[in-house]
Amino acid sequence: MSVTVAVLVLYIAALAIIGYALRGRSKSAEDFVIGGRTVGPWVTALSFVAAYFSSVVIIGGGAFGWKFGLATIWIGATNVLLGTTLAWIVLGRRVRHFTERLGATTLSGFFAARYGSPSIRVFSAALTGVFLIVYNVSVLKGMANAFEVLMDMPYRAAVLLSGLVILFYTATGGYLAVVWTSFLQGIVMIAALVLLAVFSVQRAGGLSGLADRLALVDPGLVSTPGVWGWAGLLSFSFIVSLGVWGMPQLLIRFYSIRNARMLRVGVVVVSIGASIALVPYLCGAAARVLVPDVASPDLAIPALTRLVLNDWGGALFLAGVVAAGMSTFAGVLLIISSSLVRDVWIEGLGRPLPPGAELRANRAMSLVVGVVSVAVAMKPPALILVLTAFSWAVVASTNLWPLLFGIYWRRTSPAAVMASMAAGAGSALLWQALHRFLPASWKGVHGFLVGLFVGLVVIVAGNALGRPAPETAIRRAWGEEPSARSPSASL
């Protein structure tokens, strides 16, 4: 335990030092929110990996591997191909160019400028803000659960400790602190997962030995789709990969990269880094033969860690799990606070702030949102617990089509976008709310898929009927007119 505490203290101190060292680098709100678009490809790529995979993915992914076997590795593979490589190729360059030309620093700000519609900004910011706070509570809760299981730390102490550290470096150093700490966290996560994978597979007798032993337990634990079946495996792989395309805390990495050329190095680094997504599932499958008697699949990875790693390895793994949660929480925290300040307060309510005051307001708002998230996570109300299961689905199904259509289809109609956002989010919510009343054969369909389908139908139909955005907004987005000079000049 003393080694674990020492490693953890060192690790948390490193995060705090990074935040403190970068405190003076934010001279404006744009610096605080997107690092002044100065971030290099390596930091962008690894911080993307760290923000993508939270503690829930590591512990929960292991649980899936334990329960359903090697077929779950397909979830990780889909995360790499669809959630990472294709997302970077399809979205990266255009999002980088469009947000710069339009002077947008938030996703809602991009929608407003691209579609020439202030109401889209407020609607998107309010909806995304509310559900991202819920999402952040779930991330914090997952991280604190990891502390509980791996370190025997009381849940509330874990929430407080991790929450305060993140608040300190986010409010102090802004986006640059978030990406640089995420960069460090990405390295720690990769090292921790590779270490666990190597020792677990070795203990199971190599990959062949693992496959043979799993087949003895149940041949369905080795084959695909195996014991899970196609419906569950395919839909889960799809939703946790395509969801990325509408999540603001991941899309922001494209706004902040130094220039579009950096995406070339970035896409290769991020694809290699994201390959760690396969590891929790592989380790979970290894846990099925190495620790078959765990009380719950969620305990598979912690039990495996104790079995195959020594104190130092276990400490590194705990740091990796904590890193995964912290980087996701910090990224989301910054998105919520910047959206509330710029999209809701300044643009929505029409309360302009001078540049210095906007920077201070962003710092203050990140503290407020962080404190609220920590307070709610200490004892989440029942409703919040219900919402955490699909809050990300509402956010992703709200944003995905308006973003994709906005960067590829000039004639996309603002009215269609607004209708698609409302229909996508509404149907995802309604589906989850009515879930228990659905026939058994429909229960496997996640609300995200429903929201995505309804949102697509509405935006396509709306485009056929509605008028496109003002010509000036389109020309500016496509670089045919001078860019917006500052974020506030976006409308």
Partner 1 sequence: MGPFHIPWSTFGAFLTAAAAIALAVVWALGDLSREKREKDRDR
Q: Which residues bind partner 1 (CB under 8 A)?
A: 70-71, 73-74, 76-78, 80-81, 84-86, 88-89, 206-208, 211-212, 215, 222-224, 226, 261, 263-265, 267-268, 270-272, 275, 278
Residue 270 is given by DSSP the state: H
- Cβ proximity to partner 1: between 269 and 458 the closer is 269
- Cβ proximity to partner 1: between 81 and 122 the closer is 81
The helix/strand/coil state of 257 is strand
Cβ atoms of 91 and 405 closer than 8 Å: no
- Please, which residues bridge with residue 257 across strands? 39
How many helices (H) does the chain have, and how many strands (E)? 23, 0
- Which residues touch 17 (CB under 8 Å, ≥6 apart)? none
Give the separation between CA 168 and CA 15, rounded to whole angstroms.
9
Q: How far is the CB of 471 from partner 1 (least distance, A)?
A: 26
Task: Phi first, then psi: give them for residue 257, nearest 5 degrees.
Answer: -70, 145
Angle at 333 between CA 170 and CA 325, to 5 degrees: 85
Structure token digits, residue 425: 């989010």
Give the separation between CA 248 and CA 406, rounded to whole angstroms.
15
- Cβ proximity to partner 1: between 265 and 384 the closer is 265
Cβ atoms of 143 and 155 closer than 8 Å: no
Q: How far is the CB of 197 from partner 1 (least distance, A)?
A: 12
- Cβ proximity to partner 1: between 98 and 281 the closer is 281
- Please, which residues bridge with residue 39 across strands? 257
Q: Using the Cα atoms of residue 27, residue 30, residue 31 and residue 32 in order, give the sign of their dihedral.
A: positive
Q: How far is the CB of 479 from partner 1 (least distance, A)?
A: 14
Q: How far is the CB of 193 from partner 1 (least distance, A)?
A: 14
- Cβ proximity to partner 1: between 47 and 271 the closer is 271
Structure token digits, residue 358: 């906007």
Q: How far is the CB of 409 from partner 1 (least distance, A)?
A: 22
Q: How far is the CB of 60 from partner 1 (least distance, A)?
A: 18
Query: Both ends of the chain: CA-CA distance in Å?
Result: 56
- Cβ proximity to partner 1: between 88 and 131 the closer is 88
Q: How far is the CB of 233 from partner 1 (least distance, A)?
A: 10
Cβ atoms of 341 and 362 closer than 8 Å: yes
Cβ atoms of 59 and 301 closer than 8 Å: yes
Phi/psi zone of residue 439: left (φ > 0), alpha (ψ -120 to 50 degrees), beta? beta
Q: How far is the CB of 268 from partner 1 (least distance, A)?
A: 5
- Which residues touch 438 (CB under 8 Å, ≥6 apart)? none
Q: How far is the CB of 229 from partner 1 (least distance, A)?
A: 13
Residue 121 is given by DSSP the state: H
- Cβ proximity to partner 1: between 6 and 207 the closer is 207
Q: How far is the CB of 57 from partner 1 (least distance, A)?
A: 15
Structure token digits, residue 448: 């995200």
- Cβ proximity to partner 1: between 241 and 366 the closer is 241
Q: How far is the CB of 142 from partner 1 (least distance, A)?
A: 24
- Which residues touch 163 (CB under 8 Å, ≥6 apart)? 140, 329, 370, 373, 374, 377
Q: How far is the CB of 29 from partner 1 (least distance, A)?
A: 31
For residue 468, cis peptide bond before it (omega within 30 degrees of 0): no
Structure token digits, residue 423: 């229909």
- Cβ proximity to partner 1: between 225 and 426 the closer is 225
- Cβ proximity to partner 1: between 28 and 224 the closer is 224
Q: How far is the CB of 73 from partner 1 (least distance, A)?
A: 4
- Cβ proximity to partner 1: between 73 and 165 the closer is 73
- Cβ proximity to partner 1: between 189 and 344 the closer is 189
Residue 85, number of CB atoms within 10 A of its CB:
16
- Which residues touch 372 (CB under 8 Å, ≥6 apart)? 133
The helix/strand/coil state of 39 is strand
